[in-house]
Structure 1
Amino acid sequence: MTRLVSVPVLAALSLLLSTACATPNRARDEQVLRELVSAQAEAWNRQDAVAWSRDFTSDAAFINIVGTVFQGHAEIEQRHAAIFASIFKGSQDRVTVRALIFPAPDVAIVDTVHEVTGHTGLPPGVQNTEEGLLRTQMRYVMKRTDGAWRIVAGQNTDVKPAPRPR
Structure 2
Amino acid sequence: MNATQQTDPNADLSAIRAVFGDLSDTWGRGDAAGFAALFTQDAQYTTNFGLTLQGRAQIEQGHRYVFEGPHRSAELVLLFGEEPQIRLVRPDVAIVLIGGGTSDGGEVSSRENSTRSTLTYVMLREPTGWRISMFQNTRRTPIPA
TM-score by length of 2: 0.84
Cα shift at 1:115: 3.4
Distance 1:148 1:39 in 2: 13
1:114 to 86, 90, 100: 100
Give the corresponding residue for 1:103. Answer: 89
1:43 to 8, 20, 26: 26
Count matched residues. 137
Whether contact under 8 Å (2:103, 2:109) holds in the other structure is no
**Structure 2 residue identity aligned to 1:104:** R
Q: Where does the alignment leave 5 or more consecutive residues of structure 2 unmatched?
A: none
Cα shift at 1:23: 2.3
Identical-residue share of aligned pairs (%)? 28
Give the corresponding residue for 1:89. Answer: 72
Whether contact under 8 Å (1:129, 1:161) holds in the other structure is no
Give the corresponding residue for 1:136. Answer: 117
Structure 1 or 2, whichever has the larger Rg, is 1
Q: Can you list the C-alpha shifts for 1:75-105, whole angstroms capped at 9, x where unaligned?
A: 0110011011111110012212520001111
Q: Indicate the larger mover: 90-99 or 77-86.
A: 90-99
Q: Where does the alignment leave 5 or more consecutive residues of structure 1 unmatched?
A: 1-17, 120-127
Superposition RMSD in Å: 2.3
**Secondary structure of 1:134's aligned partner:** coil
Matched, 1:146 2:127: yes
Structure richer in helix, relative to its length: 1
**Secondary structure of 1:83's aligned partner:** helix
Q: Runs of at least 4 residues of structure 1 off by over 6 A? A: none
TM-score by length of 1: 0.74
Distance 1:44 1:154 in 2: 16
**Secondary structure of 2:116's aligned partner:** strand
Q: Can you list the C-alpha shifts for 1:136-158, whole angstroms capped at 9, x where unaligned?
A: 11111111122511111111111
1:157 to 135, 138, 141: 138
